[in-house]
């Protein structure tokens, strides 16, 4: 049974369908969620025991692993939605074979955020130079930078998942994302807010992380949060993309 609807949906319909299919998605992604939890837990232990110069390397390795397992979870859910479920072993192999495309798109997206942030600050600095005085404050710089970065994040928000589920190269995925997000601006905002909330909950150094680590419950907390949030987020992402495709004719 194909879980993707044939008609356009409202955001409420998308959210309701995402909640109803939570268990289905969890069933296909729970092993990937477990691996993501393990990667985070081990990386946090290693970071606390090594010098600063090696911490960045651990962050990169951990991020690479998390992207891999999240990609597998996203792809497994998509296959389940089109009624072509695969074993986790086949899914992991598929993502491994597509790794170059997937990591290229992910890296380009992150580099783009960094470049937009840098160019935004240069823009504000250039305005000051043109008028030969500091007419902009740090607050103005922050506002301009935040707006431009958020526009970039929203415009190309679907680039990474499109590469994963549709096997599109980076340049094509960015182009399609720009077309799709134009039709689903508010849905993208809601999805991004959910993602931000989850990241905030799992960020090391938060008060809940400190209290849980005291009783050695931090890994269990991460796993529970991810089991609740990841399926919901993936479902929203897939249904928003599908709904946008119903409104846009792609070449």
The torsion region of residue 99 among left (phi > 0), alpha (psi -120 to 50) and beta comes to: alpha
The torsion region of residue 173 among left (phi > 0), alpha (psi -120 to 50) and beta comes to: alpha
Residue-wise pLDDT for 40-55, tens only, equals 989 988 888 877 778 8
CB 21 within 8 A of CB 77: no
Residue-wise pLDDT for 196-208, tens only, equals 888 888 876 665 5
Domain borders along the chain are 11-247
DSSP 94-125: HHHHTHHHHHHHHHHHHHHHHHHHHHHHHHHH
* Per-residue DSSP letter, 23: H
How much is the pLDDT for 47? 85
Does pLDDT of 215 surpass 70?
A: no
Worst-scoring range by mean pLDDT, 29-38, 60-69, 240-249? 240-249
How much is the pLDDT for 210? 59
Residue-wise pLDDT for 126-150, tens only, equals 766 666 555 555 667 778 888 899 9
């Amino acid at each position: 049974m194909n879980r993707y609807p044939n008609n356009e949906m409202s955001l409420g319909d998308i959210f309701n369908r995402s909640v109803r299919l939570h268990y289905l998605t969890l069933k296909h992604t729970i092993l990937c969620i477990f691996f993501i939890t393990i990667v985070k837990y081990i990386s946090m232990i290693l970071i606390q025991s090594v010098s600063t110069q090696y911490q960045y390397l651990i962050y990169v390795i951990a991020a690479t692993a998390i992207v891999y397992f999240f990609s597998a979870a996203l792809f497994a859910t998509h296959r389940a939605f089109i009624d072509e479920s695969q074993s986790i072993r086949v899914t992991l192999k598929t993502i491994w074979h597509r790794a170059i495309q997937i990591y290229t798109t992910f890296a380009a997206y992150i580099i783009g955020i960094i470049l937009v942030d840098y160019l935004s600050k240069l823009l504000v600095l250039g305005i000051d130079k043109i008028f030969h005085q500091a007419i902009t404050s740090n607050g103005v710089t922050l506002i301009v930078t935040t707006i431009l970065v958020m526009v970039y994040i929203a415009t190309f928000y679907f680039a990474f998942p499109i590469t994963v589920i549709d096997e599109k190269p980076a340049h094509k995925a960015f182009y399609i994302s720009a077309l799709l997000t134009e039709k689903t601006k508010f849905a993208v905002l809601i999805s991004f807010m959910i993602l931000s909330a989850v990241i905030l909950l799992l960020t090391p150094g938060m008060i809940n992380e400190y209290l849980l680590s005291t009783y050695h419950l931090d890994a269990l907390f991460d796993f529970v949060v991810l089991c609740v949030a990841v399926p919901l987020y993936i479902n929203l992402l897939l249904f928003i993309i599908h709904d946008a495709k119903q409104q846009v004719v792609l070449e």
